[in-house]
Structure formats: structure tokens, C-alpha cells
Amino acid sequence: MIIFKSINKLNKKVNFKANIGFVPTMGSLHNGHISLIKSCKLKCKKTLVSIFVNPSQFNKTNDFKKYPRDLKRDVAILKKLNVDYLLVPKINDIYNNKKSMKININKKDKILCAKYRPGHFEGVLGVINQFLTKIKPKYMFLGEKDYQQIYLIRKFIMNKFNTKIVSCKTIRLKSSLAYSSRNALLSKKEIFKASLASKMTNNFYKLAKKNFVKIKKINELKRKIEFQKIKVEYLELRNKKNLSTKVNKSNFKIFLSFYINKVRLIDNF
């Protein structure tokens, strides 16, 4: 595995006209990331992984500081997976100025996480714009745990970049909880508690798929989750194609955001 700390050096050494897949991460790698990398290796001739904790997508400075980081462990994982290239850039290698750190999103898209984390997706689009402008991979692999993020990135890069997005299924613990770098901030008891929220939501989703009338009881589900002393930020039904509130049995998705102590987690079914 070749490790690059500069995008200029990466571009000099790597031929991006070839079939290269890109897996952007913020490090603290887990089974979800590993699944993305394996998918990339199956589809592409070469795999590039980036590790960059992007400051512009954190709406709280403390959250950015506390975000789990373990580069030594991450490098060991990537070497075991036989990843071809790793990019670990510095902030000034990504952004030329403060204006480039954010891309505005439409008012109608300020829903779900965009509503509760103002500036977050503006920062996500900012870094994706910089990556795709500077390295131009053929494919980019993203996980469906961040479903709204994939939706907004797809919308943003349409007709702007030739990179194609490959969305990959959410990878979960046996307890139903989605793998997340933030899980590292939780104790075993807290992981169990977080798993309850995901398990209950998943069970509700399965019931609604069988009998869509059950969907009317979503507020009851919220009360049941909160009864477990879990702070629910939002629990919403959305159309999986356009994230509108026009839902039916075949297009609905349930989106959930909740806190375990001060750690924010998201999920969708």
C-alpha cells in the first residue's frame, strides 16, 4: 500500500484514467468501511481510501475534537485488506480558502440531519467537491447508513462530475445497531441501549411492510424508544427516492436520529 500525504503527489503517481474506486472515510475504520472497501476491490482495478476528519462538516467544535482517531490501527487494517493507495491529506491540501469549505444546499433539502445539524451537509459537499475536482476517480463507494448524505451527493455531482456513486448496504452488529465510528465512544451498556432503538425501529418497519396501516403508529414507536431513556432527535417517514413526505408501502423509509448520553447516532430502515 502506498501512503500519500499530498494530493499533488497522488496525482503524479496514480493514473486516474484507469478503473479506480474511491472510498472516502474519516478514519476510525470499522466493518462498515471494510465492506465498502471490499465492494470497491471487486468492482475496480485499484482502490484508493482517504482518511480525513473534515472540520467543515462538524457544527460543534467539541464534536470535531472528540471524533475518534486511530491512524496506526487504520493503516494496519488497510494493509491487511491489500488497499492500493491511502490518502491522508492535511486541511490546507484540501481547501484553498474558507469559501471552498462549504457548498450551499436548497431550503427544501434542510430536513432530517440537515435540519438538526446546520452546516453539516454543506461541509460534506464542500469536501466531496474538492476531492472529485482534484482526483477524479471512476467510482466512489458510500454506505447507506448515511442515506441522506448519498442523496445530496448524488444530486450535487449530477452533470458536474463523471464519478459514479456506488451505494452499499448498511453493515450491522448482530444486535441490529449499525456500525459507526461513533460507537467507539460508547460503553458496552450504551451499545446495548443504542441497539434497542435500532431493533425497535427495524421491527416496526417490518410490521409496516406487511400492513402499511401500522405506519400511523410511528409516534407510539417514538414513545417506546424514549421510554428506554433514549433521547430521540427525530423519527420520520420519508420517500426513499426523493426524501419527500409522500410515502406509500413500496417507497417508504424510516429515518432515526437519537442520543445515547451526548453521542449522536443515526439509522434508517
Fold agreement (2-168, 181-268): no
Give the pLDDT band of residue 59 (cuts 50, 70, 90): confident
Across 25-39, average pLDDT: 98
User: pLDDT > 70: what percent of the chain?
Assistant: 100
Residues in a beta bridge with 51: 25
Q: Longest C-alpha distance within the chain, in Å?
A: 58
| CA pair distance 19, 43, nearest whole angstrom | 9
Q: How confident is the model at residue 39 (pLDDT cuts 50, 70, 90)?
A: very high
Phi and psi (nearest 5°) for 47? -120, 130
Q: Which amino acid is at 238?
A: R
- Predicted pLDDT at 185: 95
Nearest to 229 by CA among 203, 201, 190: 190
Task: Say if residues 78 and 49 touch (Cβ distance below 8 Å).
Answer: yes
CA distance 47 to 83: 6
Q: Please give the Cα distance from 120 to 54 (Å, whole number).
A: 10
* Stretch 201-218: mean pLDDT: 97
Question: Of all helices (H) and strands (E), which one includes residue 222?
Answer: helix 218-227
Which pLDDT does position 34 carry in this prediction? 98
263-268 and 252-260 strand pairing: antiparallel
Tens of pLDDT, residue by residue over 249-258, are: 999 999 999 9
Q: What number is the average pLDDT over the span 22-51?
A: 98
For residue 172, the 8-state DSSP code is: B
- The pLDDT tens digits of the residues spanning 124-172 come to 999 999 999 999 999 999 999 999 999 999 999 999 999 999 999 999 9
C-alpha cell at 136: 477524479
33 is catalytic: yes
pLDDT value of residue 60: 87
Are the beta carbons of 47 and 21 closer than 8 angstroms? yes
Q: Read off the pLDDT of residues 104-113 as tens digits, 9 standing for 90 and up.
A: 999 999 999 9
Domain layout of the chain by residue ranges: 2-168, 181-268
**Cell of residue 64, nine digits:** 470535531
Average pLDDT over residues 211-216: 96
Q: What is the pLDDT of residue 10?
A: 97
The yes/no answer on whether domain 2-168 falls in CATH 3.90.190.20 is: no
Q: How far apart are CA 58 and CA 125, in angstroms?
A: 13
Of 33, 117, 120, 222, catalytic: 33
Q: How many percent of the chain have pLDDT more than 90?
A: 98
The whole-number pLDDT of residue 147 equals: 98
**How high does pLDDT run on average in the chain?**
97
CATH topology of domain 181-268: Pantoate--beta-alanine Ligase; Chain: A,domain 2 (3.30.1300)
